[in-house]
């Protein structure tokens, strides 16, 4: 090997080691009642990837991994139950009981504190808006939809400008983004501090907003997928009907909430020409099948074990969940990521 090649190899190795060194250790000590001796998985909610595996003894286990930034994860154990939190490089402690996943707690993560504070105040904001306008759900009439967007914009810009949300702001924007027009998203993005506009969730949010209006008005690609019974499902099956293609996964909590909204939506609009096709990105079939039973989804279900690598997913730049495409009776893309509450307006206008 020549001197020049040796120097280049050394510089490459140094760069790799430097990047690794910047990933600091996250140590999580778990103490979970009624878990016993079992395997626990630490799963990245965004990608579905297993980040680490631990073997619990008497409900106690330890995860150790290196992180370069906070990550939203689920702890998955027996019967595919899970608890979800933001973890970061620090010494963390997870406490709970498998018989009551709602009572789990994670200490030591400032990102989790930020996320919990935002989630609670966001729910309070939504509740206040509904009460003020005398409505009980977010299936808003058109007369309230524009005022709602305005209030959400003002609220989020003020919240992100005043609160310490550097670790979770981009993630929060992804989760609330379906309430907002592309223009409003850009306004809010511009008030975030520079630190909040870096990292994986910031990159994802930027990609989502850039692709917001792409493909609208274009004919939907042809597809052939197998449903849960093995029947081939094709684009032509939906000719003359509105089709909502919903992209989801069992480990995506907002997706599971949407599944409940789709139940009432489907019951209300099936007779008016709406069909729903749910496309799961689950790579773990046991989790997928369990979610189907729990959520009682009566519309068409398909799944591809390639997950994010599915060609259809890559073509339409699906980079976050839940996501959706609303297709016209003529087979053209009407809207992307339209909320269940707004689909009624599309069908009936």
Give residue-wise pLDDT tens across range 33-51.
999 999 999 999 887 788 9
Query: Among candidates 277, 165, 160, which has minimal Cα distance to 228?
Result: 277
117-121, 165-169, 339-343: which range is least confident on average?
Answer: 339-343
For residue 46, what are its two tokens?
A: 């965004």
Query: Among candidates 181, 85, 68, 165, which has minimal Cα distance to 122?
Result: 165
Give residue-wise pLDDT tens across range 102-152.
889 999 999 999 999 999 999 999 999 999 999 887 767 767 877 887 888
Average pLDDT over residues 173-177: 84
Percent of the chain clearing pLDDT 70 (strictly above): 91
Residue intervals in the chain for CATH 3.40.30.10:
224-348
Q: What is the CATH number of domain 224-348?
A: 3.40.30.10
Which residues on neighbouring strands pair with residue 52, listed in sequence order?
Answer: 42
Query: Among candidates 50, 78, 76, which has minimal Cα distance to 65?
Result: 50
DSSP secondary structure code for residue 43 in this structure: E
CA 339 to chain centre: 14
pLDDT of residue 10: 43
Residue intervals in the chain for CATH 2.60.40:
3-107
106-110, 222-226, 306-310: which range is least confident on average?
Answer: 306-310
Check pLDDT > 90 for residue 227. Answer: yes
If you average pLDDT over every residue of the chain, what do you get? 85
Instruction: Return d(Cα 271, Cα 273) in angstroms, integer.
Output: 6
Check pLDDT > 80 for residue 32. Answer: yes
pLDDT of residue 19: 43
Average pLDDT over residues 61-84: 89
pLDDT of residue 15: 42
pLDDT of residue 142: 62
Check pLDDT > 80 for residue 11. Answer: no
Average pLDDT over residues 184-213: 82
More confident residue, 162 or 217: 217
For the 3-107 domain, the top CATH level (class) is: mainly beta
Rounded to two decimals, the pTM is 0.66
Average pLDDT over residues 54-70: 95
User: 21-25, 195-199, 232-236 — which one is most confidently predicted on average?
Assistant: 232-236
Check pLDDT > 50 for residue 100. Answer: yes
Longest dimension (CA), the chain: 77
What sign does the CA torsion over 67, 71, 74, 75 have? positive
Query: Other CB atoms closer than 10 Å to residue 242's CB: what's the count?
Result: 19
Give residue-wise pLDDT tens across range 275-296.
999 999 998 888 899 999 999 9
């Amino acid at each position: 090997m020549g001197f020049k090649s040796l120097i280049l190899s050394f510089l490459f190795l140094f760069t790799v080691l430097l990047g690794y060194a910047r990933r600091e250790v996250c140590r999580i000590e778990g103490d979970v009642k009624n878990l016993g001796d079992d395997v626990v998985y630490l799963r990245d909610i965004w990608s579905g990837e297993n980040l680490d595996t631990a073997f619990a003894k008497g409900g106690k286990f330890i995860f150790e991994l290196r992180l370069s930034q906070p990550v939203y994860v689920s702890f998955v154990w027996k019967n595919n139950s899970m608890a979800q939190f933001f973890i970061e490089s620090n010494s963390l402690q997870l406490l709970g009981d498998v018989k009551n996943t709602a009572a789990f707690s994670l200490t030591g993560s400032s990102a989790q504190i930020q996320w919990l504070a935002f989630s609670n105040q966001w729910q309070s904001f939504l509740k206040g808006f509904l009460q003020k306008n005398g409505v009980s759900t977010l299936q808003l009439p058109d007369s309230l939809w524009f005022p709602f967007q305005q209030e959400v914009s003002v609220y989020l810009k003020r919240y992100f400008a005043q609160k310490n949300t550097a670790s979770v702001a981009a993630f929060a924007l992804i989760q609330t983004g379906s309430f907002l027009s592309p223009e409003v998203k850009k306004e809010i993005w511009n008030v975030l501090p520079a630190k909040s506009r870096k990292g994986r969730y910031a990159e994802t949010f930027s990609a989502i907003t850039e692709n917001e209006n792409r493909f609208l008005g274009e004919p939907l690609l042809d597809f052939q997928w197998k449903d849960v019974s093995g029947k081939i499902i094709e684009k032509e099956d939906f000719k003359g009907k509105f089709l909502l293609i919903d992209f989801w996964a069992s480990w995506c909590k907002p997706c599971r909430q949407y599944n409940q909204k789709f139940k009432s939506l489907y019951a209300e609009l099936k007779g008016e020409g709406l069909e729903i096709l749910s496309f799961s990105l689950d790579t773990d079939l046991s989790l997928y099948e369990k979610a189907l039973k729990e959520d009682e989804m009566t519309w068409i279900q398909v799944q591809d074990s390639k997950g994010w690598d599915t060609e259809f997913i890559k073509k339409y730049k699906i980079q976050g969940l839940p996501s959706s495409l609303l297709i016209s009776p003529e087979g053209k893309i009407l809207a992307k990521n339209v909320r269940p509450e707004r689909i009624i307006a599309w069908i009936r206008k």
